[in-house]
């Protein structure tokens, strides 16, 4: 549960409440904990609460209490209570920028051997696929029309302007690595080939591998499915690969369900959109750490180019040996 607080001087902050709360607990919580903290932040100056559409936020008792405390409120439907949209946009940008700067604290690959082994165990529990430390994929986030010489480069194969966002997630649907700066026309494999995460795998930083679809080349550290399995072992490998790699599609679905602007599109300056995408990834991970409940709508995967087998010779050999030993 997240409240954003904006002061009369256009400064702001986030108040994150861990866990869930009944409506009858909400007013006492506001009165004894949240309001005193916010008043300390802003030295008893005027401030405005921005909240989402959670029932406890819109409950009559809650609104009546805040009104009695002379606290201004803005909800996510755009209802304004004494604060300009310009101020709201400015604060949203500043908060997003601050979150993006702290992304390394919330979005990171497991580095210690213990953490990597825990991540590998999480993936193995899905379909007994060993040695997986991340599932990788890209998703297109719609943006408004891009001007200038790079305009057409942002048009993806479906014909709309987008940023191609690469994500590596774990079995808990947490985002472990994100790249949110590529043009919509960029192929997923290009985004990966020029990413820091690929460099880290090639350096041998991790004791596991990624799972990706056939848009990627099969390598020693990134396994893809077989396009034409020829025996029971290969078919078993493909089934386990599909179910385990599906984690990243579920991650996209949950992320976009939490933040609908990722579904509708980011209709703001391109640089702001890129920053906001990273900020929303940070909030997504915070929500998972807090065990925030949400109704998950099935993620409809974007249609891809026809798949072809793309692998290095060494990658194909290692994958085949892996299949023979484990399936």
With contact defined as beta carbons under 8 Å apart, do 109 and 200 qualify? yes
Average pLDDT value for the chain = 81
Q: Residue 46: which pLDDT band, with cuts at 50, 70 and 90? A: low
For the stretch 234-290, pLDDT in tens is 999 999 999 999 999 999 999 998 888 899 898 888 999 999 999 999 999 988 988
Name, of 22-26, 75-79, 81-85, 221-225, the range with top average pLDDT: 221-225
More confident: 290 or 317: 317
For the stretch 94-122, pLDDT in tens is 777 888 888 999 999 999 999 999 999 99
Considering the chain, what percentage of its residues have pLDDT values greater than 70?
67
Q: State pTM to two decimals.
A: 0.74
- Does the pLDDT value for residue 64 go beyond 90? no
- Does the pLDDT value for residue 11 go beyond 50? yes
With contact defined as beta carbons under 8 Å apart, do 27 and 61 qualify? yes
Q: Are strands 162-169 and 175-183 parallel, antiparallel or unpaired?
A: antiparallel
For the stretch 295-305, pLDDT in tens is 554 444 554 54
Angular region, 65: left φ>0, alpha ψ -120 to 50, beta rest: alpha
Q: Domains for the chain: give ranges and CATH numbers.
A: 2-84 (3.30.420.10), 103-326 (no CATH)
284/297 Cα distance (integer angstroms): 16
Q: What is the 3-state secondary structure (H, E, C) of 49-79?
A: EEECCCHHHHCHHHHHHHHHCCCEEEECCCC
For the stretch 208-232, pLDDT in tens is 999 999 999 999 999 999 989 999 9
> Mean pLDDT lowest for which of 5-14, 159-168, 174-183, 240-249?
5-14
């Amino acid at each position: 549960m997240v409240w954003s607080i904006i002061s009369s001087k256009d400064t702001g902050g986030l108040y994150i409440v861990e866990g869930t709360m009944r409506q009858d607990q909400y007013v006492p919580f506001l009165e004894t904990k949240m309001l005193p903290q916010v008043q300390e932040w802003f030295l008893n100056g005027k401030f405005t609460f921005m909240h989402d559409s959670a029932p406890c936020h819109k409950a009559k008792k809650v609104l009546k209490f805040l009104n009695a405390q002379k606290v201004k409120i803005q909800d996510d439907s755009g209802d304004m209570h004494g604060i300009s949209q310009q101020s709201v946009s400015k604060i949203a940008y500043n908060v997003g920028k601050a979150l993006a700067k702290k992304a390394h604290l919330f979005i990171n690959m497991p580095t210690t051997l213990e953490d990597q082994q825990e991540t590998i165990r999480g993936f193995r529990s899905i379909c007994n696929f060993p040695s997986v430390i991340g599932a990788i994929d890209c998703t297109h986030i719609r943006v408004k029309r891009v001007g200038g010489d790079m305009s057409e480069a942002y048009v993806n194969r479906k014909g709309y302007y987008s940023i191609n966002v690469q994500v590596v997630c774990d079995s808990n649907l947490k985002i472990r690595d994100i790249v949110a700066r590529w043009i919509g026309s960029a192929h997923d494999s290009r985004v990966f080939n020029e990413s820091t995460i690929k460099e880290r795998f090639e350096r041998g930083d991790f004791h596991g591998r990624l799972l990706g679809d056939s848009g990627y080349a099969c390598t020693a550290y990134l396994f893809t499915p077989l396009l034409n399995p020829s025996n029971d072992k290969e078919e078993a490998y493909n089934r386990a690969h599909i179910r385990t790699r599906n984690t990243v599609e579920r991650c996209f679905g949950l992320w976009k369900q939490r933040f609908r602007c990722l579904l509708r599109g980011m209709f703001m300056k391109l640089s702001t959109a890129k920053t906001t995408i990273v900020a929303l990834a940070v909030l997504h991970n915070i929500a998972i750490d807090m065990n925030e409940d949400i109704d998950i709508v099935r993620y409809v995967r974007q249609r891809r180019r026809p798949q072809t087998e793309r692998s290095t010779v060494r990658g194909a050999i290692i994958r085949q040996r892996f299949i023979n030993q484990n399936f």
